[in-house]
Chain A
Amino acid sequence: MSALLAARGLAKSFGAVVAAADLDLEVEAGEIHALIGPNGAGKTTVLGLLSGELRPDRGRVFLSGREVTHAPVHERVRLGLGRTFQLSCVLPSFSVLENVAIAVQAREGSSFRFWKPASPDPRLEEPAFALLERLGIDALADRPAAMLAHGERRLLELAMALASRPKVLLLDEPLAGVGSKEAQRLVEILARLRAEVGVLLVEHDMDAVFRLADRITVLVNGRAIASGPPSVVRADPLVRAAYLGDDSER
């Protein structure tokens, strides 16, 4: 049984800056794999390489055992890869419901329809509304996405990512800038997600990481200096020295 998502020997440099060096990484079904490291360690670059926004200098990427190293973003999405962005990325002039409905539409694969109105269309709006309910933002359905508070936008992004029914989800700092109450709710939602999707989680909130992660990989200067269950990583002297020890981000 191969991993849902696997990277082998991934390397990427921007000039003299090494963002990823000979990196191996997997996400198995039913696990949350956290990728942590100090700022500039290359975490977001790694997500870009996995999602297809960036091309690696070397190395290969596999989705459910199938090589996708050269596949564009939208093709990887079709193969079951979803993602959220570090800076919230929604369609600002669309309503909350429309944002999720268009994500459902993407999954349905029937967008070359020119005559019938896209709204109201129960085949798009019912699954979309169900997702909003699940994430507790159904009351905001008609609000323009541009008017959402930061935490609400994070939840909307998650709803959009889930609407494409991914097998693997890449989450880039889902808790960044979110208030403590909403962070609590997000952590609970993510914990429950584990049952249906594999998650690669990049996050600075160490409480959340150690609560959620089944496995943690520590990235420093593009290199994985440690990888394993939280208890092992927490005790690793290299990690303590490089990262957790002088952690000021908590």
Chain B
Amino acid sequence: MRAATRAPVSVRKLEGGSVAPLVFVALALAVLGADLWAGPYYVKLLTRAMIVALAALALDLLVGLAGLVSLGHAAFVGIGAYAVGILAEHGITSGWIQWPVALVASAAAAAVIGALSLRTRGVHFIMITLAFAQMLYFAANSLSRYGGDDGLTIWNRSDFGGIVSLADRRTFAWLCFVLLLSVYVALARLSASRFGRVLRGAKDNERRMAALGFAVTRFRLVAFVISGTVAGLAGVLLANLTEFVAPAYMSWHRSGELLAMVVLGGMGSLYGAILGAFAFVLLEELLSRFTTHWALLFGPFLVLVVLVGRGGIAGLLARLGRIR
């Protein structure tokens, strides 16, 4: 009997409260260490992991908190990246213009896609988000003015005047760190807020929430737009890191990988999505040194973590904490 019982969401969240600061301290030390001893390659690798973690965080808000499984989230990363690339192609390199345009574009796309997708539930929701992402993927492929399927090289990173220089890899890495931390804190607050409670309630029992007087779809749409905007921010950073955009950023493989990271890290804990993203990016890096078929090794690892660690990496950590 005892084993079958689950602590309520609010209680489980508290357990994460002590882990999340450790995650960020470890991350800061890693960036510092890579910069001092390991060299530019590893700084860039960590920067990419932080950007991917930002996108995974955005997806966890939907999947973990609201129970909405989107299989098209790479589309918003792509929109953010393309906004930067297209503006740069036209000579607009100011970050003060690029970034707001990119964020508004991803928010608007999320509002439209969300409004239509949220009419469906379950598997249908998964399929319709996938379908929208594929539409955008093929639309990007057909943008011959902006490189078509070859993609688009960005000659200059976003320019913020003299305030921050993204060309400096150290500055760029710390900017990504600060953004990841800020978004994490904001989403963790959101998760515990009245709004977050409505999302969790609707995940638990949508019918009951409607009978209490909540217009559930409205709340989910707001969550979808927030999530799409954060993913768009990840796209802005990714375009700046790689100095390149391509339709491949939006492919459904990317969306699937984001989902794998969220599941690997442990859904709904937020910091778990960050851990999942790091585990994914670093394992990909490590395993691909031995074989190009690295996914062959990663697959069993994912299965193992999901089976053994119910609740992903975050679940494992929480249980380890309890045993001690």
The reply to whether B205 and A92 form a contact with Cβ atoms under 8 Å apart is: yes
Stretch at the interface among B125-133, B150-158, B165-173, B188-196: B188-196
Closest to A116 in B: B193
Judge if B161 is at the interface, Cβ distance under 8 Å: no
Contacts of A102 in B (CB 8 A): 197-198, 201, 209, 212
Task: Establish whether residues B193 and A92, one from each chain, have CB atoms under 8 Å apart when the complex forms.
Answer: no
**Chain B contacts for A77, CB-based, 8 A:** 210-213
Q: What residues of B have a CB within 8 angstroms of the CB of A94 in the complex?
A: 8-10, 200-201, 204
Alpha-carbon gap, A107 to B214, bound state (A): 9
Partner of B189, one of A72, A85, A98, A114: A114
Cα A30 to Cα B215 in complex, Å, equals 29
Given the contacts A51-B211, A106-B212, A113 and B195 also touching, CB distance less than 8 Å: yes
Q: Indicate if the CB atoms of B193 and A91 lie closer than 8 Å.
A: no
When the two chains form their complex, are residues A91 and B201 in contact, meaning their CB atoms are under 8 A apart? yes
Q: Given the known A-B contacts A117-B193, A144-B6, are A91 and B205 also in contact in the complex, defined by CB atoms under 8 Å?
A: yes
Answer whether residue B146 sits at the interface, using C-beta atoms and an 8 A cutoff: no
A118 at the interface (CB under 8 A from B): yes
Interface residue B219 (Cβ < 8 Å from any Cβ of A): yes
Does A146 touch B at the CB level, under 8 Å? yes
- Interface size for B (C-beta < 8 A) is 32
A14 interface hit (Cβ, 8 Å): no
Nearest residue, chain A, Cβ from B195: A114
When distances are taken between beta carbons in the complex, the residues of chain A under 8 Å from B193 are 113-118
User: In the complex, A158 Cα to B298 Cα: how many Å?
Assistant: 49
Determine the distance from Cα of A43 to Cα of B228 in the docked complex, in whole angstroms: 44
Flag A97-113 by CB within 8 Å of B: 1 or 0 each: 01000110111001111
Which residues of A lie under 8 Å from residue B208 when comparing CB positions? 85, 89-91, 160
Within A63-104, the residues touching B (CB, 8 Å) are 72-74, 77-78, 82-83, 85, 89-95, 98, 102-103
Quote the shortest CB–CB distance from B205 to chain A (angstroms): 5
Residues on B with C-beta less than 8 A from A110 are 194
B222 within 8 A of A: yes
Q: Does B7 contact A (CB under 8 A)?
A: yes
Query: Would you call A164 an interface residue if the criterion is a C-beta within 8 Å of the partner chain's C-beta atoms?
Result: yes
- In chain A, what residue has the closest Cβ to B204? A91
Whether a CB of chain B sits under 8 angstroms from the CB of A248 is: no
Instruction: Verify if A119 is at the interface (C-beta below 8 Å from B).
Output: yes
Check A17 for interface membership: any CB of B closer than 8 A: no
Q: Which residues on the B side are within 8 Å of A73 (C-beta)? A: 210-211
Q: Which 9 A-B pairs have the closest CB atoms?
A: A77-B213, A106-B212, A91-B204, A106-B213, A73-B210, A113-B194, A118-B197, A118-B194, A117-B192
Chain A residues engaging chain B, CB cutoff 8 angstroms: 51, 53, 72-74, 77-78, 82-83, 85, 89-95, 98, 102-103, 105-107, 110-119, 121, 144, 146-147, 160, 164
Subset of 28 A-B contacts with CB under 8 Å: A51-B211, A72-B215, A73-B211, A74-B214, A77-B211, A82-B211, A83-B211, A89-B205, A89-B207, A90-B208, A92-B204, A93-B6, A93-B204, A94-B204, A95-B8, A95-B10, A98-B197, A111-B194, A111-B197, A113-B193, A114-B190, A114-B196, A118-B192, A118-B196, A121-B194, A146-B6, A160-B208, A164-B213
